[in-house]
Structure 1
Amino acid sequence: MNGIISINKSQGMTSHDVVYKVRRILHTKKIGHTGTLDPIAEGVLPLTIGQGTKISQFIVEKEKEYVAELSFGTKTDSFDRTGQIIGQADKIITEDELKKTLLLFTGEIEQVPPIYSAIKVDGKKLYEYAREQIQVEIKARKISIREIELLHFEFPNAKIRVACSKGTYIRSLCNDIGEKLGTFAHMTSLIRTKSGPFHLDKAISLEQLEALSSEEIKQHLYPMDFPLEHLIRVDVQPFSAKYLLNGNPLIQKNIVQNINDIPLCEKVRIYLNDEFKGVGLMENKDYYRIKPLRLFTNQ
């Protein structure tokens, strides 16, 4: 079985818990997830199955969308409701103030990840430093927030929708919003509603998946090229099949389309006899060619 299944993760489970359960349901070990969801979070968690694991990196880098709830007046060490309270404030925030502040977080910004995260510093995960109460410098990282919308506000609680780049910590965003308003805030709930082309209304719960037959499960399996439909398609000439499957760079004589129409440094979808075979990169090494990045030789 090769492809992607979009799981609707429930609260209380780690992403690895989900992978473990799906391995048991599908009777296969080769399963990976495409972006961690904390136990407090729920929603879309695409899982790559079989050879689909080879395209995980291309799903991870896609835009994500979340609906988060935050509460003003309290700061926690984890930036969410699971942490220890480390600060409190009495300042009252108005809806107008919040809307104006949210605008400041759109575009490319720098964000400091929470100490309770799996990011590594000097080979050690940040949450390990936190548990050992060791101070460590956490460097800010560039992220991009395309859109942030206030869905509901009733002080001290607010609900926001965020469309953002990979690597964005919504917990940190909630904390930073509070700081920008001169108070404290922490995240109380989080739902991932979209991960690349995968949407919440099309995701399946573990309970639903477990109740399906093998044939019914296949109906929920997305083909491996589904999350790559935004990439330019190139078709390999049939006589170049062996050349491609050996991992060699492809030049014009190997490709049906005009290779000069493809922008440099652009990733492409590679097909052979109308069958998806992998992902390549358009480059110019003295001549125009497509370098295979990931190939699927046996599907």
Structure 2
Amino acid sequence: MSQKKRVKRAISGWLILDKPYDFTSTQAVGKIKWLFEAKKAGHAGTLDPLATGILPIALGEATKTVPFVQDGTKVYEFDIAWGSATTTDDVEGEVIAASDHRPSAEELDNVLHCFTGIITQVPPAFSAIKIKGERAYDLARAGEKVEMPPREIEVESLEVLSHGEKQSTLRVTCQKGTYVRALARDIAEKLDTVGHVSRLHRAAVGNFTDQDAVTIEELEALETTLERDQMLRPIADALGHIDEVSLDQKQAQAVRMGNPALLLGRNAPIALDVAYATHRGDVLAIGRVEKGQFKPSRVILPDSPIRN
């Protein structure tokens, strides 16, 4: 007998996954999509297979808010293994250089200011950046020499959590586009030695932190879809850093149709570059306020009708 085909559900929300080691972001999304029987899913920012930590996964209509999470501030904790450089700038690659020099805690502290603020970084050759239409890691694995163009990134803070002769643990708060593997490589070079990332953990993405995360094992232990659904975060949690515009029933119906809604009341905004509209706590749309009207650019379709 053939197995009954699973019926996919129109379910929306954010699942904050603690991605396990040696698991690709694509594999993680596929697993969550299967567990929730969801029609649509996507993630907000790729995490290397050898990295662990926060991987926000959007289900259903939450996928329309992915850019707002993807562009959020990131926090990483990572270990630099001193004395060896690798082709991939992490433990996966082959050793290509070695050094006997081990920096002191004071030496490490003294160079961190060179890696904060707006800095220039050359991404690792083994990265997903496209070079003439090809992924850099595909070219590198094929044995081609990859010239990675430098790029500007923003590092808000960088601190040492612990220091030892063999490795040091650091925490970095940074913006989108920062490669921690390249950061570790460059810090080592600044200290007249070589090094690579031996452990990488993403502790926060935008509003989501380790405290919000659940593991695949925890989700698999739940017996019903209802129990798993309770692990989802509302769509609005991805939008906490932009302005909210609360609408009444009539305004909500207009916005649901993709039409503008005139905002009433003494405190109604006149102009906002970006905002999201809600009705009784449900996110209706993302858009802007212009001349006292909320104008939707992306309508969030309900999994169920608007409540009266």
Q: Same fold (TM over 0.5)?
A: yes
Whole-angstrom distance in 2 between the partners of 1:11 and 1:274: 36
Whichever residue aligns with residue 94 of structure 2, its letter is: Q
**2:282 match:** 275
Say how many residue pairs are matched.
291
**2:4 match:** none
8 A Cα contact 1:3 1:222, kept in partner: yes
Whole-angstrom distance in 1 between the partners of 2:269 and 2:142: 55
From 70, 74, 84, the equivalent of 1:64 is 74
Whichever residue aligns with residue 283 of structure 2, its letter is: F
Whole-angstrom distance in 2 between the partners of 1:124 and 1:289: 44
Q: TM-score, normalised by structure 1?
A: 0.91
Whichever residue aligns with residue 122 of structure 2, its letter is: V
Q: Matches of residues 133-282 of structure 1 in structure 2 within 5 Å?
A: 133-212=143-222, 213-250=224-261, 253-256=262-265, 257-260=267-270, 262-263=271-272, 265=273, 267-282=274-289
Q: TM-score, normalised by structure 2?
A: 0.89
Q: Mean Cα displacement is larger for which, 38-47 or 237-246?
A: 237-246
**1:31 match:** 41
Deviations 1:40-88 (A, max 9, x none): 1001111101111111111100011111001111111111011111111
**2:56 match:** 46
Q: Does 2:20 align with 1:13?
A: no
8 A Cα contact 1:68 1:189, kept in partner: yes
Q: Cα RMSD over matched residues?
A: 1.8
Deviation at 1:29, TM superposition (A): 3.7
Deviations 1:214-237 (A, max 9, x none): 222122110000121221111235
Equivalent pairs: percent with the same residue?
A: 34
Q: Any runs of at least 4 consecutive aligned residues in structure 1 with deviations exceeding 6 A, and if so which?
A: none
Deviations 1:199-253 (A, max 9, x none): 1133111011011122221221100001212211112354334432232345xx3
Deviation at 1:106, TM superposition (A): 1.0
Q: Note the residue ranges of structure 2 that are not aligned, 5 or more in a row.
A: 1-10, 304-308
Whole-angstrom distance in 1 between the partners of 2:39 and 2:97: 44
Whole-angstrom distance in 2 between the partners of 1:209 and 1:3: 15
Whichever residue aligns with residue 7 of structure 1, its letter is: L
Deviation at 1:291, TM superposition (A): 3.7
Deviation at 1:125, TM superposition (A): 0.5
Whole-angstrom distance in 1 between the partners of 2:187 and 2:289: 41
The verdict on how the C-alpha distance between 1:88 and 1:255 changes in structure 2, with shifts beyond 3 A counting, is farther
Whichever residue aligns with residue 121 of structure 2, its letter is: Q
Whichever residue aligns with residue 240 of structure 1, its letter is: Q
Whichever residue aligns with residue 275 of structure 1, its letter is: D
**2:296 match:** 292
Deviation at 1:121, TM superposition (A): 1.8
Whole-angstrom distance in 2 between the partners of 1:172 and 1:125: 17
**1:101 match:** 111
Whichever residue aligns with residue 43 of structure 1, its letter is: G
Whole-angstrom distance in 1 between the partners of 2:123 and 2:299: 34
Whole-angstrom distance in 2 between the partners of 1:172 and 1:153: 19
**2:85 match:** 75
Whole-angstrom distance in 1 between the partners of 2:206 and 2:254: 32
Q: Secondary structure at the match of 2:204?
A: strand
The verdict on how the C-alpha distance between 1:123 and 1:236 changes in structure 2, with shifts beyond 3 A counting, is same
Whichever residue aligns with residue 137 of structure 2, its letter is: Y
The verdict on how the C-alpha distance between 1:248 and 1:123 changes in structure 2, with shifts beyond 3 A counting, is farther
Q: Secondary structure at the match of 1:104?
A: helix
Q: Secondary structure at the match of 1:115?
A: coil
